[in-house]
A = this chain, B = another copy of it.
Amino acid sequence: MADLNRLQKSLGYQFQRLELLEQALTHRSANSRHNERLEYLGDAVLGVVIAEDLFHRFPKAPEGDMTRMRATLVRGVTLAEVARELSLGEYIRLGSGELKSGGFRRESILADAVEAILGAVFLDGGIEACKPLLLNLWKQRLDTIEPGAGQKDPKTRLQEWLQARKKPLPTYEVITVTGDAHNQKFTVHCQVSALEEPVMGEGSSRRKAEQEAAGKVLEILQV
């Protein structure tokens, strides 16, 4: 594992109990003293700090816009970005079975470690230590996010995410259409190469059903 002092410098935080940082960087495949409980705590801390910042930053935004912005800021792909900015890959302890894992699995391990670090800082220094650290790591993202239009729909997000990883685009297929002409229900399958099974979506239009299916795929991939 690389020098933890360097990581603490990147975080802008010196741990009193360095073992908490070590635990936050330990995947369950490496040791029984792993980071999953810290990740659970960090997820909640991240949620409240981002929620409070957006609340004050956008004093007129309706609740729905704030919820969508928060979802964008805390989702897996954002966390994995933060992890890369911190070069977390150099610090994480993985079991031998996990060392070779790439792609989706690796992204999710990195994302989880970011939450675990936030949980560790919360335990070590309280919410007062967590807040400036977190707002600093998220600063550029918070400064550029906007309510409404900036939030992309699930199909667009899925397409962009797959393209960025040079994966084939998803295919959508209408499976059934039921109901009268004015009250139709569409069921579609969305298939992506990363998942063995197609994922189903339902909606009152083909477009809505496809959006729902794409959203579920994003959830499964923890994007």
* Contacts from A to B (Cβ < 8 Å): 36-37, 39-41, 43-45, 47-48, 50-52, 55, 61-63, 66-67, 70, 122, 127, 185, 197, 200, 202
How far is the CB of A116 from the nearest CB of chain B, in Å? 10
Complex Cα–Cα for A209 and B63 (A): 33
Most buried by B among A43, A44, A70, A122: A44
CB-CB under 8 A for A39 and B52, given A44-B47, A47-B47, A202-B200: no
CB-CB under 8 A for A55 and B41, given A127-B127, A200-B202: yes
Chain B contacts for A62, CB-based, 8 A: 36-37
Chain B contacts for A43, CB-based, 8 A: 51
**B40 with A55: CB separation less than 8 A:** yes
How far is the CB of A76 from the nearest CB of chain B, in Å? 16
**A40 with B52: CB separation less than 8 A:** no
Most buried by B among A37, A50, A197: A37
Q: Given A39-B63, A41-B55, A45-B48, 19 other A-B contacts at CB below 8 A?
A: A36-B62, A36-B63, A37-B55, A37-B61, A37-B62, A37-B66, A40-B55, A40-B63, A40-B66, A40-B67, A41-B52, A43-B51, A44-B47, A44-B48, A44-B51, A45-B51, A47-B47, A52-B122, A185-B197
